[in-house]
Structure 1
Amino acid sequence: MELDILVFGAHPDDAELGAGATIAKEVANGKKVGIIDLTRGELGTRGTPEIRDMEADKAAKILGLAVRENLEFADGFFVNDHKHQIEVIKTIRKYRPKIVLCNAVEDRHIDHARGSKLVSDACFLSGLVKIDTKLEEDGQWQEPWRPKAVYHYIQWKNLEPDFVVDVSGFIDKKKEAIMAYASQFYDPESDEPETPISSKNFIDSVIYRARDLGRLIGVEHAEGFTVERHIGVHHLEDLI
């Protein structure tokens, strides 16, 4: 299956928090979108990996994803090395996306920046013809593939975006997908330990950021991304 957009996250819920409304909008526009979670988030203070698996499946259905997979790297301990790059390359070559979205280039959680660099490097390496990979499920050698663009969504740190996407009308879908992770986020009934992301204020801040970015470009809500290269447009009117 070829995808238009492949979104990577170090943990289940990263993609929803950083780009959930953009994903929902692209799916509504007929694009095939998938998410690859690098880890199962097994070091998370709240919940369990098994619960996170079920929550990720629920969020995938809410967003209308074409596919969601988990590479089961070690939460907190995966590194940007040959072994992990090859596994990401296999996934990129399997789905041949035009665009890849991935973690923030700088953030509070060490896995975010690490996952960002790992995926970015793998996107480049995936286009090299002398790197041989095959999928275990079918034993077929894969053709090289390099995505047209790699964009990084913004997470905990309030990084300055290089561009923003108008996601007006899709913020409720983003919130619904986020709240699919009931073990991780605000739940007044929960007796689990409090974390930096389990307060109501955190969820409010995610929505507020989208509202504020939207305000800056004259729309209701927006999500921000950073880029690795210059942004090109065909015409001046392409800009909002």
Structure 2
Amino acid sequence: MQLDILGVGAHPDDIELGCGATIAKEVHFGKKVGILDLTRGELGTRGTPEIRLREAKNAGEVLGISLRAQLNLRDGFFINDQDSQLEVVKVLRKYRPKIVLCNAVRDRHIDHGKGAKLVSDACFLSGLRKIDTGQEVWRPKQVYHYIQWQDMIPDFVVDVSGFLETKINAILAYKSQFYDPNSKEPETPISSKNFVESVSHRARNLGRIIGVESGEGYVATRYPAVDRISDLI
């Protein structure tokens, strides 16, 4: 199966938080989208890897994605080395996505910036013929970075009006991680009601800036291009 878009996150729930509405919209319009989690999120304060795996499956069903996979790199300790790069290259060559969406280039969690560089580097390496994985070479056409905890000025904003509710529902599929007034788990920076509300606030603010209901912002490491100026809204 060839994917149109592959979303990659260091942890289960990174994709839902960073670009869940974009993915829901692309699925709605018939694109094949997959998600790759680099780790199991085993260092998370709340929940367990097994619980998060079930939650990730449920979140993927909410978004309507075609597949979800995990590389089982070490949460908190994975590095951007040859072994890790080759594992990502194998996924890229297997599913041949045209677009890759990956972690923020810098962020509060150390895995996010590391994940961004690892995936970006792997996208380049995947196109080199002399790297032999027993697969045909493949290089995605575009690599974009979604925005996470740290506010950033996006290079472009996607209109996700009508898909914000799906994004929030996908986030809340991670019941162990986010706001639950009945939870006995320790409080974390993402477990408050305010955090979930902030996700909607950011999307609506980005939408306000571009003149639509809601938006998701992205950082690009090379200039985005459009075919015609009239394509811009």
Which category describes the TM-score, using the shorter chain as reference length? over 0.9
Tell me what 2:58 maps to.
Answer: 58
Deviation at 1:130, TM superposition (A): 0.1
SS in 2 for 1:198: coil
SS in 1 for 2:119: helix
Tell me what 2:232 maps to.
Answer: 239
Deviation at 1:104, TM superposition (A): 0.2
**Structure-1 separation of matches of 2:173 and 2:224:** 34
Aligned Cα root-mean-square deviation (Å): 0.4
Percent of aligned pairs sharing the same letter = 70
TM-score by length of 1: 0.97
Alignment coverage as a number of residue pairs: 233
Deviation at 1:236, TM superposition (A): 1.1
**Letter paired with 1:183:** S
SS in 2 for 1:185: coil
**Letter paired with 1:5:** I
**Structure-1 separation of matches of 2:200 and 2:150:** 15
Pairs within 5 Å for 1:204-219: 204-219=197-212
**Letter paired with 2:154:** P
Deviation at 1:68, TM superposition (A): 0.2
Tell me what 2:216 maps to.
Answer: 223
Tell me what 2:45 maps to.
Answer: 45
**Structure-2 separation of matches of 1:233 and 1:88:** 28
Deviation at 1:232, TM superposition (A): 1.0
**Letter paired with 1:36:** L
TM-score by length of 2: 1.00
Residue 99 (str. 1) matches residue 99 (str. 2)? yes
Tell me what 1:138 maps to.
Answer: none
Tell me what 1:137 maps to.
Answer: none
Tell me what 2:82 maps to.
Answer: 82
Encode CA deviations 1:57-87: one digit per residue, 9 max, x unaligned.
0001111110000000000000000000000
**Structure-1 separation of matches of 2:205 and 2:106:** 21
**Structure-1 separation of matches of 2:189 and 2:10:** 17
**Structure-1 separation of matches of 2:228 and 2:164:** 28
**Structure-2 separation of matches of 1:70 and 1:82:** 18
Tell me what 1:35 maps to.
Answer: 35
